[in-house]
Amino acid sequence: MPTSHWHVVKPPPCQRIPRKHPRYLLSVPITLYRVADKTISPTHGLTLNISKGGVAAVLCGSARVGEIFRVQLNLWRGVVSALAVVRHANSFNYGFEFLDPTPELRDRLAECLHDLDH
């Protein structure tokens, strides 16, 4: 009787995307406010992962690569807000890079990422 074997195929190291910062799995509410057009209602979603440099999320709306938002994250150490640009858009999944994070944001993220790492 034949048997099935499942494999997980990882791309060779040369094809992996290098990351500036490690990512941590995290699912918390996220709200996005368009900077260029404040007349459009906020977009809501859930984060997928987070790093010192940005956040990935599933949204209940759309965003264009290059579009700038004020993102609001509801972290367990409090709400944080930052400007972020859309770097990746695929269906409902989006990647955001924080723009010029403030010292307060960097500190709050460092505390939360430390909690996730331990």
Is residue 1 in a domain? Answer: no
Domain that holds residue 31: 13-117
- Domain with residue 81: its CATH number is 2.40.10.220
Is residue 2 in a domain? Answer: no
Question: What's the rounded Cα separation, in Å, for the pair 98 and 90?
Answer: 19
**Is there a contact between 101 and 82 (Cβ–Cβ < 8 Å)?**
yes
Number of compact structural domains in the chain: 1
Is residue 87 in a domain? Answer: yes
Is residue 86 in a domain? Answer: yes
pTM of the shown model: 0.80
Is residue 7 in a domain? Answer: no
Per-residue pLDDT of the chain (118 residues; tens, 9 = 90+): 454 444 444 445 555 566 788 888 889 999 999 999 888 899 999 999 999 999 999 999 899 999 999 999 988 878 889 999 999 999 889 999 999 888 988 888 888 888 887 7
